[in-house]
Every structure is written in structure tokens, then in C-alpha cells.
Amino acid sequence: MKEMEAFNETQDRVFAEQDRAAAQAAAEVEHEARRMSLERRASEAKQQRALKEVEADEAVEREQAERSLKLAERADVLQAASEEEEERRRSLELRADAVRRSREIDECAEEFARLKVEEDRALAAADREAMEQAREAKARAAERKEARPRTRAFTRFQARALAVAKGEAP
């Protein structure tokens, strides 16, 4: 019985040793599983952080691209406004030039009309003066003719010419 007890004790020790070894193996497996789980969580957290950083970088790039696009659009709008303003300025200058030329043309036309009236008046005065001088010359000629001694008899033609010169003939 002692042998049996010794055998049982040995068996108990072996079983206890196996239980301890199994418990230790289970603890090591559990420890390894925890370590791997922690590593996996750390890796996942690291991946999440990297993903968030990439997303943040992409968001920053998108914002910069949007800002650049908005700035380009603003520049285009400002350029178009500047071109439109330049076109308006040129149009106003052209209108001002046209108005100035129109005024100059009107002034020239008025000056021409004034000069034409003056010329017409001067021509009319010259015509009147010439007519007056012609009448006076005819009158003087008629007076000289009458003042000449009449040695010969007038022909009908000469009598008629004298009457026309005096203004008596029809």
C-alpha cells in the first residue's frame, strides 16, 4: 500500500506538474494572445492614425485646390471686369471723340454758312455797286453823247440806244 501511496503521490505530483505545466502553457498562450491582441490593436490604431493623417492631408490638399480654384476664378472675374472697364473707357473715349468731332463739324458748318452769307452779301453789294457804276457810266456816256454837238442826224438805231441807256425805252 505504501507503494500504491507512493505511486499515487508520484501520480499526484506528475498530475500537479502537468497541471502546472498546462496552466503555465495556458498562461503563456493567454499572455501571447494578449500580447498579439495588443500588438494588433496597436497596429490597428497606428493604421487608423496613418489613415486619419492621410485623410487630413487629402482634406488639406482639397482645401488648397479649392482655394486655388477660387483664386483663379476671382482672378478671371477681375480680369474680365478689368477688360470690361477698359472697353467702357475706350467706348467713352470714342464717344467723346465723336462728340468733339461733331461739334467741330457743326462749328465748321456754321462758320462756312456765316462766310457764305458774308460772301453772298459781298457779292450782292459788289453786284449792286457794279450795276450802279454801270448805270452811272451809261448816264455819263449818255450825257457826253448829248453834250456833243449834233452835226449829223441820228439814225433810228442810235436814238433807240440812247433811250435804252437813259432807261426810257421798254
* Strand residue runs (E) in 12-160: none
Can you give the pLDDT at residue 162? 78
User: What does the pLDDT look like over 60-78, one tens digit per residue?
Assistant: 999 999 999 999 999 999 9
Please answer whether residues 143 and 162 qualify as being in contact, where contact means their C-beta atoms are separated by less than 8 angstroms: no
Helix (H) or strand (E) holding 44: helix 2-147
Residues in the chain: 170
Interatomic CA distance for residues 101 and 46, integer angstroms = 80
The structural domains of the chain, with segments of one domain joined by +, span 2-148+155-166
* Strand residue runs (E) in the chain: none
Can you give the pLDDT at residue 169? 65
Q: How far lies 82's CA from each of 6, 70, 74, 140, in Å?
A: 110, 18, 12, 84
User: What does the pLDDT look like over 2-54, one tens digit per residue?
Assistant: 778 888 888 888 888 888 888 888 888 889 999 999 999 999 999 999 999 99
150: alpha, beta or left? (left if phi > 0; alpha if psi -120 to 50): beta
Can you give the pLDDT at residue 26? 86
Interatomic CA distance for residues 152 and 159, integer angstroms = 12
Can you give the pLDDT at residue 94? 94
User: What does the pLDDT look like over 75-111, one tens digit per residue?
Assistant: 999 999 999 999 999 999 999 999 999 999 999 999 9
